[in-house]
Amino acid sequence: MIGFRSDNSSPAHPAVLQAVCDSNEGAELSYGDDRWSARLNETFSELFGTEAWVVPAVTGTAANALSLAALAGPTDAAYVHEESHISHDECNAPEFFTGGTKIVTLGGGGAKFDAARLEKASDVKADVHRAAPRVVSVTQATELGTLYTLEELRSIAEVARRRKMRLHMDGARFANAVAALGCEPAEMTWKLGFDAVSFGGTKNGCLMAEAVVLFDRSPLVELQRRAKRAGQLLSKMRFLSAQLLAYVRDGLWLDNARHANRMNRTLAERLRGLGIEPALEPEANMTFVPLGRAARDALKGAGFDTGRDGDAPVRLCASWCTREEDIDRLAALLRG
Amino acid sequence: MIGFRSDNSSPAHPAVLQAVCDSNEGAELSYGDDRWSARLNETFSELFGTEAWVVPAVTGTAANALSLAALAGPTDAAYVHEESHISHDECNAPEFFTGGTKIVTLGGGGAKFDAARLEKASDVKADVHRAAPRVVSVTQATELGTLYTLEELRSIAEVARRRKMRLHMDGARFANAVAALGCEPAEMTWKLGFDAVSFGGTKNGCLMAEAVVLFDRSPLVELQRRAKRAGQLLSKMRFLSAQLLAYVRDGLWLDNARHANRMNRTLAERLRGLGIEPALEPEANMTFVPLGRAARDALKGAGFDTGRDGDAPVRLCASWCTREEDIDRLAALLRG
Amino acid sequence: MIGFRSDNSSPAHPAVLQAVCDSNEGAELSYGDDRWSARLNETFSELFGTEAWVVPAVTGTAANALSLAALAGPTDAAYVHEESHISHDECNAPEFFTGGTKIVTLGGGGAKFDAARLEKASDVKADVHRAAPRVVSVTQATELGTLYTLEELRSIAEVARRRKMRLHMDGARFANAVAALGCEPAEMTWKLGFDAVSFGGTKNGCLMAEAVVLFDRSPLVELQRRAKRAGQLLSKMRFLSAQLLAYVRDGLWLDNARHANRMNRTLAERLRGLGIEPALEPEANMTFVPLGRAARDALKGAGFDTGRDGDAPVRLCASWCTREEDIDRLAALLRG
Amino acid sequence: MIGFRSDNSSPAHPAVLQAVCDSNEGAELSYGDDRWSARLNETFSELFGTEAWVVPAVTGTAANALSLAALAGPTDAAYVHEESHISHDECNAPEFFTGGTKIVTLGGGGAKFDAARLEKASDVKADVHRAAPRVVSVTQATELGTLYTLEELRSIAEVARRRKMRLHMDGARFANAVAALGCEPAEMTWKLGFDAVSFGGTKNGCLMAEAVVLFDRSPLVELQRRAKRAGQLLSKMRFLSAQLLAYVRDGLWLDNARHANRMNRTLAERLRGLGIEPALEPEANMTFVPLGRAARDALKGAGFDTGRDGDAPVRLCASWCTREEDIDRLAALLRG
């Protein structure tokens, strides 16, 4: 059952692992001068339909914190949702990488804030006393498995544009969002004005591969230096870049995400059949369900961490490798 | 020829890669709660013959900077050699991770400083104006391929002990040093008073696997938090821990290093036969040789970076996978 | 009218200025080894009725940020009110001095949070992903001129104690709070469990003199080093310490605050007489009043900054040197 | 005798103190919006004969660290002399304020480095691994009381220009240097290409008043924010700005420095008459003299700190208020 705890529990996709194995051939230049890394910019430029620059990282925490550091300085403010990974799952990495950017949290249901909240919060007198509004970061899909519609993103981007703030997307589940919205990567990002995306690979089939994707070249050189400074520049970078290439080649990233989303919908339907109504409409690959004592205990018995709060909905997470039979077993367990 | 440029140019050892593949089975707990990570402390405790605690990292830069941050604070000083990786190959990672520890550089031939220099430099008035002497870091084997003898380390450790400073070893080439000295890991580290070691795996057969090894538990919890904060805690940590386990299992780490050192000796002998005398006695897996214009050009033509300074010795680096025939070809090239 | 804009607009009290002049005699040891600085600990120990240690600073921002840095580390969290000076009037100084402590904001009317909010917010799973709850900071009197009752402080302190968090008081208007509550400094601080106080002098009669007062010696040495590192250790420290001594000698601090509070009450009554009802019950030396267009314009014409938001209450601030006739003139102006 | 220990031991000049008293009149806008602060830019522009921008600070440590932070970023390197205040008298303030700029130390006699050393040290490969050469800081007059000639400064500036590095002058004793060289402030600074000066006032007659003087406006806004963030922006800034105005008005700064330099020359001559030969030719207001046991003991008995190292020369420091009779008494003491 622990597979449903997190998409981080899933193994790597065989094609990604095979790419790692294939790259293990002979001598190769180090620190990103290898043949795999050389193809990253072009590959992602194609994926996004515009010129893009890629800085790989081994974790989403690093990708997010590097992105923020590329866009904001130590006397600036970044706006994020109060339930975002950046806000409370990264052990202060954002404050660390940025040298002290203030992380301002916004509320809003379903782990989403809207343009109005952003507008109000960033209406700050421009003086020496206050952190300067500089970056807005949205998580897509969110930590609660919900999605910003393109229209919602556009409204947020409009506030950012007006206030001269930059836009970052925490795309740890970028693929699940694109799969669910059925849009092009471009439509969800740079066409709306996004400057940088943390493009996630690990949860959706990689071993440890994330990428900061920039649509503006100006922060690139400093970002690369910051990545080195953070110990994110692998000496044998081929093993990371090869993952990213395999992950986006032939649409694997999207196929994996579509599967995960589909399995999640199947799971949600099955649960509804059991009388368990999701707390939020499942839009990507996660479903949050209120569970009674017995169901929680059953999950715990199967190695699941149901959290400390007996009343909080439990997160069930489908991944690229979830099978129908896994859902059958989970349903059987919850049926009691 | 580029294989000789750096041990970072070598691929991963098949056994390490196989371990990664083997760990790619089914669902597994994330963020270090997996079965592979669970065995790290025990495995390294056995290796070092004392209780040890391990925090994995993906780069030597991260391992070093995390180690320093575990041992020193923002108003402290750390003493390192002026040619050390910490001093000028990590793009200020030590200053970054520590929150501003002063990195004080010491001179000395062969990239080694001695106890007398350390004693003099750390003879600092204990007041509010000066960084407090707190950590000493030695690189073993050094960046110039030389070795501190156990006696030299003991003298340095004695100064550290007297001054109440902590001891760190940058062991990016730890295996090469142990292989060359023919000592036990314990004799080169905690038995001399070392508190922490950056135990390198990447250069010697891993894909991307380093470990901070602590011999004192007290900094552990904060170190783990710092690793998370630095984006070094992989969600699918099994893929990193499995490398470390395979690397130290059955002495692979030491076999690889012995081979690299032996190939390096062979190379040095061959070069001497060609009338090329190493600038320093090769003690581990690297040889620095003064080369004339023609030889430099030949290397460059074969993809080698011979540096900007036409007079500086060129580094030739053997690795776990260097073969006799590689040496033959290099010798042929340099013979002109 | 600008005197009412802020207590920072007031001059220094003659007795404090005289003390500065008196200390300007002959040669004196530097960096806090002078005769004035030597008496700080004793003077404040007497004031607080317990052993206390003092680190002077020139601004409240520095005193607050140093206090937080003394109590929290880079992977910790500090809890403050969302309208607090620490949260949004210090241009990220807290993040800077602490090396990245997460500043978590709590809501609550009158710029006060209560024990329940603190309890909920700090109920954080103790793992490597989340900032560790470490410090609670309350502002007394608050930025809105309200006061925490001793009972409210006790409840907050009880949560802190249970959660093993440390307690800091931003006492930029400490004197006004003590004057208003009619309690002993001890009752409002260490007797409740407070570990550190930013003891303000500047707003209430000093030129530039604040003090971090510690009731626990353990963070002292590092705090002094951090003060030096922040450029807060004056070479001619006598000129700062002499201010602090004069300020607390013979109860000047309390007399000044009582006067300011009294003038504020007088002002509030006068305004009520004009039909202007304060937005909050004025408890210390500040009154926030909703003002119509004409009154705002009249204030602006007299050099007052009434803020950008035409609907927000305007802050009127009494100080140690406010005179009845100043209130007369202000009332005349607002009467229109 | 303690007056000779340091120019920081001297009191404030009466004219500066009087200016502080004079500024203590009535209500005034806070945080630098006062009438005194408003005249700083113009006053210093006149002093330097070019448009200049001023950010006041209360200590030289803050002025230096803010200057470096204005000119260098976290992945950069700053070059300073190994005996400089920045290197080892500021408890890591430079690393702190800059967010981790690497402070690279250069050797050289008399606490001066030359262009050749700078050229060699800053000849760094421009890649992601190494701190980028960004700032050069010279102390004028130096910590050993020596002076860079204009020609020496020009050579250093030429290297900086060629390498695209910025230039900072630690002018804690700027006045003493200008007095000794007999040049215009402009000739020693911006005309040579200096971007920023830490203009010292405290040692030479102020209470606590230093200024970062910029000759390029571009870093100004961020510098002001950094000053606020560091707790250096006084709420009652008039008390600091009034000092700076009085200090440079009517040439007081230069008169004071000339007096100090003259007294120092007198002292050196007197000592030579006693057979005590200065270790370095005294060029500004400090003389370093080798002293025997008896002389050291005599000084100690008079409250002097002669240092821990019995063989190191003792620093004797004249100031704006040193009188002939003070020298007589010191000579008498040393004569034994």
pLDDT tens for D229-253 read: 999 999 999 999 999 999 999 999 9
pLDDT of residue C303: 81
**By C-alpha distance, which of B123, B117, B110 is closest to B149?**
B110
Give the DSSP letter string of D261-317. Answer: HHHHHHHHHHHHHTT---SS---SSEEEE---HHHHHHHHHTT----S-TTSPEEEE
Scanning C6-35 for CB atoms below 8 A from A yields none
Note the pLDDT tens digit of each residue in A131-167: 999 999 999 999 999 999 999 999 999 999 999 999 9
Please tell me the distance in Å from D257's CA to the nearest CA on chain A. Answer: 34
Note the pLDDT tens digit of each residue in A260-314: 999 999 999 999 999 999 999 999 999 999 998 888 998 888 888 777 777 889 9
- The vertex-A289 CA angle with A285 and A294, nearest 5°, equals 130
Does C74 reach chain A within 8 Å, measured CB to CB?
yes
d(CA C140, CA C142): 5
* Helix/strand/coil percentages in chain C, nearest 5: 45, 15, 40
Please tell me the distance in Å from C20's CA to the nearest CA on chain D. Answer: 9
Candidates A100, A131, A308; nearest CB to C100: A100
pLDDT of residue A62: 98
Please tell me the distance in Å from A152's CA to the nearest CA on chain D. Answer: 33
Does D105 reach chain B within 8 Å, measured CB to CB?
yes
Please tell me the distance in Å from C235's CA to the nearest CA on chain D. Answer: 6
Does B90 reach chain D within 8 Å, measured CB to CB?
yes
pLDDT tens, per residue, chain C with 336 residues: 678 989 999 999 999 999 999 999 999 999 999 999 999 999 999 999 999 999 999 999 999 999 999 999 999 999 999 999 999 999 999 999 999 999 999 999 999 999 999 999 999 988 999 999 999 999 999 999 999 999 999 999 999 999 999 999 999 999 999 999 999 999 999 999 999 999 999 999 999 999 999 999 999 999 999 999 999 999 999 999 999 999 999 999 999 999 999 999 999 999 999 999 999 999 999 999 999 888 899 888 888 877 777 788 999 999 999 999 999 999 999 887
Contact B100 D89 (CB under 8 A): no
Please tell me the distance in Å from C281's CA to the nearest CA on chain D. Answer: 26
Contact B232 A231 (CB under 8 A): yes
Scanning A129-158 for CB atoms below 8 A from D yields 129, 132
pLDDT of residue A42: 98
Contact A75 D225 (CB under 8 A): yes
Phi then psi for residue A52, to 5 deg, are -135, 155
Phi then psi for residue D213, to 5 deg, are -110, 120
Against chain B, the chains showing at least 3 CB pairs within 8 Å are A, C, D
d(CA D57, CA A96): 26
Polymer length of chain B: 336
Does C274 reach chain A within 8 Å, measured CB to CB?
no
- Is the omega angle on the peptide bond into residue A111 within 30 degrees of 0, that is, cis? no
Percent over 70 (pLDDT), chain A: 99
* SS3 state of residue D11: coil
Please tell me the distance in Å from D12's CA to the nearest CA on chain C. Answer: 6
Best of B66, B75, B221 to disrupt the C interface (most C CBs within 10 Å) is B75
Cβ neighbours of residue C109 under 8 Å, at least 6 residues apart? Answer: none
Residue of C nearest to D98 (CA): C96
Does B326 reach chain D within 8 Å, measured CB to CB?
no
Residue owning tokens 């390294």:
B44
Note the pLDDT tens digit of each residue in B53-110: 999 999 999 999 999 999 999 999 999 999 999 999 999 999 999 999 999 999 999 9
Which range, of A324-333, B200-209, D47-56, D218-227, averages the lowest pLDDT?
A324-333
d(CA C169, CA A66): 34
Contact D75 A31 (CB under 8 A): no
Does B205 reach chain A within 8 Å, measured CB to CB?
no
d(CA B188, CA B139): 12
d(CA C93, CA C85): 10
Chain A neighbors of C100, CB-CB under 8 A: 92, 95-96, 100
Contact B8 A30 (CB under 8 A): yes
Please say if the pLDDT value at position D255 is more than 90.
Answer: yes
User: Where does the pLDDT of residue A328 fall: very low under 50, low under 70, confident under 90, or very high at 90 and above?
Assistant: very high
pTM above 0.80, yes or no: yes
Best of D61, D79, D92 to disrupt the B interface (most B CBs within 10 Å) is D92
Please tell me the distance in Å from A282's CA to the nearest CA on chain B. Answer: 22
pLDDT of residue B300: 87
Contact C128 B225 (CB under 8 A): yes
Does D38 reach chain C within 8 Å, measured CB to CB?
no
Contact C129 B224 (CB under 8 A): no
